[in-house]
Structure 1
Amino acid sequence: MVLRILEVLYTSYWPKDYTVHIIIGLLAAYVLRTVAQGRKTNRERDLHARVVLMTGAFTPLGLTILQSLAQQGAHIIALCQEPVDSTHITLLIDILRTTTSNEQIYAEECDLKSPTSIRAFCTKFLTGKEQRLDAIIFGHEHRHIGSPWPFSNATIDRDQKERDSGSLASFLITTLLLPALLVAPVERDIRIINVVNPFYAAAGGLPFSPSFSYEIPAAQANSLFLREGQRSLRTIVLTRHIQRVLDALPTSSQIPKTEEGSSAVPIVSSKHQKSNITSVSVSPGIGRVDTISSFLSADWKSPKGFSYFGILLYIMLQPLFLMLLKSPYAAMQTVLHALYLPTPFKILAQTTVVSQNKEAQKSEGPIDVSELDMPEEVLLPGSLYAECASVKIDVKIPQEVLDKDQEDKDKRAEIKTRDKGKAKEKTPLQEEVLEIEDDGEYGGEVGGRLVWESYEQALKIWEKETPPTERDIEREQLDKEKKHSNPESPPPPVDIDQAYN
C-alpha cells in the first residue's frame, strides 16, 4: 500500500526534468550542513574514578556535555543556582543517572552571581573528606549575553555587569580551589577548561585593554559583538597566564614516578609540559541554542524575560539555523577534544620508555620524554582550541602600556643592582616574585599579568558591592544548625587566601 502511494506521488507530482538538479541541491545542502557542524573529536578517554567539576551544567550545551561525561563513567559535580532539591534539578539528575547507568552524578548549589555563595561552596569542598579534582569545566561563560533593541530593552550596563560577574566567578573558583590542585599527586592529569563565546575575533583587531570598565570608541559604543568579544578575549588571555603561573611554580619541576625497579628516571621536556595542571580555553563555535536563541531573546524560560518577536523569528528561521549553525552535540566536540587529548605526562605514565640511543640504554640516568614517539597531537597548555584544533590569535598590547612596564622593570633591576649584598628591609619593588617566562603569545607575560591584576581589583569591588543574598543567609544558617546537631567536630576551616598566597 505504501509503495503504491509513493509510486502515484512520483508519477504524478515528481518533476522528472529536474531530478538531477534536485539531487545536486540535496547533496549540496548535506555537505553544507556537515561543514557547518564542524569537526568531531577522534579521541576517547576512560573517565572512571575521575572527578569533574562543571559550571553551566544545566544549559543546553552543559547538559549535552554532562551526558557524554557520564557515559564515560566520570564522577560529576554540577554546580547550579537553584536548590539541589528543586524539582527541575532532581528530575534532570535522575534522568542522567538512569540513561547513562552512572550514579556518580551530583548537583551542588552555588550561585555564580554571589561571591558569598562561591566562597561557601569552595570552603565546603576544601574542608570535606574528598578533595580530588581531575578537571574543572567552566561552561557558564559560553552562553551569549545581550540582545539588540528590537528583542530586548535591557541596558548595556546591566548586561555588562552580568558578563563581569560570570568572568569573576570563574577567576574566584580557580583561585580558591587552586591549593587543592597544587597538593594533588604530580602524576595526576588535571585540566582547567574555560569555555568562551566565539566572538573573541571581534576584539582582536583593537588594542587590548584588560580593564573590566574598558573604554570603547564612540562609533562602537553600542557594539554588542565587541563587548562579547572583549569578555571572551580577556578570559583567553587569563587562561594563558594561569598556565604561565603554574609552569613557574616550584612544584612544576616534579615528574611522574617510574615503575618500581626501573633504573631510568623520566624527565618531561619543558618544551612539551612543565606542570601536571593544564589550563586551556575552548571556543565551541556559534550554536543555534546557546548563542542565537539568547541573541534573539527567544528563550521563554529565561529569568530576564523573552521577546515574542524574537521567538517568532527564531521559529521562522529554524531551517536556516539547522543548516548553518551548530547543535549542542556539535558544539561540545571541541570541549571533549580538550578533555580527551593526551598530555606528555599522561603519555609518559602509559608508555614503556625505550631509548633510541643504545649507549643510553646501558647507562642508568634520566631519559627525556622527547625521545619517545609522541602521538600526532598532544594538548598544548594554555592554548585556545576551536574546531578541535589549537588557534593562534594576535593580542595587541598598546605601546604605552609596554613602555610603562619596561620602566618598572628597569627600576627593579636598578634597585636590585644598587642594593645587592645589603641586608635591609625590602621595598615593594624589591619583593620577590615568580620568574614567569614571557612566551610572547596571547599578549605575552605583560598582557597576562595586567589581566590578572585587573581581575584581582575587580574581584574586590564585586565582593564589596554584592551583599549576601537571602538564600546565602539561609544556607549559612542551615550549615550552622547541622554543625550544632553533629556531635563530631568538623575539620578546621582552611584560610583560602593565605593558602593561595
Structure 2
Amino acid sequence: MPVPVLVNLAANLYSSPYLVHVVVTLFVISIIRAYAQGRSTNRERDLHGRTILLTGAFTSLGSTVLEALANRGAHIIALTHIPIESPEVTLIVEALRERTKNESIFVEQCDVLDIKSTRDFCTKFLTGKDHRLDAIVFAHEYEHVGPYFASKEEKAACEEIRSATSDSTFLIITLLLPNLLVAPAERDIRIVSIINPFYAAAVPHFPQPPPVEGSQFLREGYYALRTVVLMRHLQRVLDALPQAPPPNPDAASAAAASNKTQKSNIVSVSVSPGFSRHDTVAPLLRAKLSTRESSFIGFVAYILLLPLLHIFTKTPSHAVQSVLHALFLPTPFKFASMPANQESKDLVDARPSEEVLKPGALYADCSVVSLDLRDRAQLPESDDKKGEPSQAKLIDDGEYGGEALGRFIWESFEENLKAREKNATSNVPQAPADKKDD
C-alpha cells in the first residue's frame, strides 16, 4: 500500500510546476540545518586506561558524553543526584555497558546542589584506593535553568540553583586539585567545563551581575561567563605553580616540564556546545515533564515548534562535538613530550602546523572563541584574600579580562563558597535542594 502512494505522489510532484520551488526550498533548509548543527570534530582518541570524572552524567548532553567516552574505552565515574540503586540509573548503566562493551562505567551519588554531598564525594574519592584522574568534565552547568515566563519566586529559586551549581564546580576543582598536582608529570590531564550558550549576553556589563528579576538569559549568561573567566584564571594558577622535577632528566617528561608555552600538564578549558533542543529550549518552554516547572501548555508549544527546532537547534549528538574536540585535541604539553630524534629540527619546522588545544580557552563549534573583556570597571580588592592565586606570581596575558578580572572572579567564588558553607553548618535550609528535580 505505501509503495503505490509514494509512486503516485512522486508522479504528481514531478509534473507539478512547483517542483523547482520545492527542491530549492528543501536544499536551503538542508544548508541552514547543516550550518546550525555546527562543526564536527575531526579528531579521535583512544581513551582506554584513562579515568574521567563526569558530572551531570544523566542529563541529555551528559548521557551523550557518557556514551561517547564509553565507546572509546574510558574508565568513567559518573555523578548523579539520583540514588544509584534506583531503577533509572541501574537500567541506563547496564544498557550502556552492554552497548559499548565497556564494563568500566561506575556511578556515584553526588548532588551538586548540596555542598555537603559534594564534599562527601570528594573526600570519599580522595581516601579511596584509586586516585587517578585523567579528565574532569563538568556537564551540570549546561542545562538551562528556569522558564522564560517565571514568577518572582521562581526566579529567586532558579537563581539559587544557578549559584549552587556554579559554586559546586569551583568546590570540586579546589578539592581535587591537590590530587591532580601530585600526578606524574608526564600525564595529560584536562578539566573541561561545559557552559550554556548565553555567555555572550553578559559580556557588555560583566562582571556586574544583572538583576535577579531581569532577563533569564542575562542571568544564565552571567554565570556561564564567570565559569569561562574562572577556567582561564585556573590555567594561570596552574602554570605559575612550581613543577616537580621529572624522575629522569633525559626522559620526554623533561621537555614537557620545561615547555614555555604551557608549564603545567593540566589543561583547563571551557566549552559551549550551543543551543540544544532538550537542554536549552525545553526548559525555557516548561516542556520537561520530569520537572516541577513543567506545564502541559509548554509541552504542546514545544511539540508545535519541533519542525523549526529541528532546523535551528542542535541534537545532543551534534552538541557534544565541541566537548569531544576539547578532549581529543593534543595539548602543547603532549607535543613537548614527543621525542625529537627521528627528524632534524629543520624537517620538524617544515611540517605543517597541527591544531593543539589552547589552555584556558573557550571553545564553541570546535574553535577558539575570543572575548573582549578588557577595560572593565575598577575591580574592588578584598583585603583578607591571600589565597593561592594571590600568592603565586601570575603573568597578566590579558585574555578574558586578564589576571585582575580572573583574580576577582576567583575570590568571589571563595566568598560565595564560604557563605554557603556557613549556612550549611548553621542548618539553614538550602532552597535548591527542593527545586532540583531533573
Verify same fold: TM over 0.5. Answer: yes
Aligned to 1:241: 233
Alignment of structure 1 residues 89-238 onto 2, 5 Å: 89-149=89-149, 154-209=153-208, 214=209, 216=211, 221-238=213-230
Aligned to 2:368: 390
Aligned to 1:411: none
Q: Does 1:381 align with 2:339?
A: no
1:354 shift after superposition? 4.8
1:234 shift after superposition? 0.5
Please list every run of 5 or more consecutive structure 2 residues that lacks an aligned counterpart in the other structure.
Answer: 430-438
Cα distance in 2, alignment partners of residues 248 and 31 from structure 1: 46
Structure with max Cα Rg? 1
1:14 shift after superposition? 5.5
Is the Cα–Cα contact under 8 Å of residues 257 and 264 in structure 2 kept in the other structure?
Answer: no
Cα distance in 1, alignment partners of residues 23 and 134 from structure 2: 49
Cα distance in 1, alignment partners of residues 428 and 189 from structure 2: 33
1:372 shift after superposition? 8.9
Aligned to 1:289: 278
Aligned to 1:329: 317
1:114 shift after superposition? 1.0
Cα distance in 2, alignment partners of residues 94 and 165 from structure 1: 30
- Which of 251, 256, 265 is equivalent to 1:276? 265
The residue type equivalent to 2:70 in the other structure is: A
Is the Cα–Cα contact under 8 Å of residues 207 and 396 in structure 1 kept in the other structure?
Answer: no
Cα distance in 1, alignment partners of residues 423 and 368 from structure 2: 38
Question: How has the CA–CA distance of structure 1 residues 241 and 62 changed in structure 2, closer, same or farther, with 3 Å as cutoff?
Answer: same
Count of residues in Structure 1 that have an aligned counterpart in Structure 2: 425
Question: How has the CA–CA distance of structure 1 residues 258 and 290 changed in structure 2, closer, same or farther, with 3 Å as cutoff?
Answer: farther
Aligned to 2:81: 81
Is the Cα–Cα contact under 8 Å of residues 152 and 297 in structure 1 kept in the other structure?
Answer: no
Q: Does 1:437 align with 2:365?
A: no
1:5 shift after superposition? 4.2
Question: How has the CA–CA distance of structure 1 residues 442 and 184 changed in structure 2, closer, same or farther, with 3 Å as cutoff?
Answer: same
Cα distance in 2, alignment partners of residues 152 and 313 from structure 1: 19
Question: How has the CA–CA distance of structure 1 residues 20 and 342 changed in structure 2, closer, same or farther, with 3 Å as cutoff?
Answer: same
Once the two structures are superposed, residues 135-162 of structure 1 have per-residue CA deviations (whole angstroms, 9 ceiling, x without a partner) of 000000000011122x667532211110
Cα distance in 1, alignment partners of residues 217 and 377 from structure 2: 25
Q: TM-score, normalised by structure 1?
A: 0.79
Cα distance in 2, alignment partners of residues 326 and 135 from structure 1: 25
Q: TM-score, normalised by structure 2?
A: 0.90
Aligned to 1:423: none
- Which of 292, 300, 305 is equivalent to 1:312? 300
1:273 shift after superposition? 1.4
The residue type equivalent to 1:377 in the other structure is: E
Is the Cα–Cα contact under 8 Å of residues 185 and 257 in structure 2 kept in the other structure?
Answer: no
Question: How has the CA–CA distance of structure 1 residues 382 and 19 changed in structure 2, closer, same or farther, with 3 Å as cutoff?
Answer: same
- SS state of the match for residue 317, structure 2? helix
1:2 shift after superposition? 6.0
Once the two structures are superposed, residues 246-292 of structure 1 have per-residue CA deviations (whole angstroms, 9 ceiling, x without a partner) of 000002x75696776x9x96356655311100000000001111000
The residue type equivalent to 2:416 in the other structure is: A
Is the Cα–Cα contact under 8 Å of residues 397 and 447 in structure 1 kept in the other structure?
Answer: no
Once the two structures are superposed, residues 364-385 of structure 1 have per-residue CA deviations (whole angstroms, 9 ceiling, x without a partner) of xxxxxx9695742100000000
C-alpha RMSD over aligned residues: 2.9
Aligned to 1:367: none
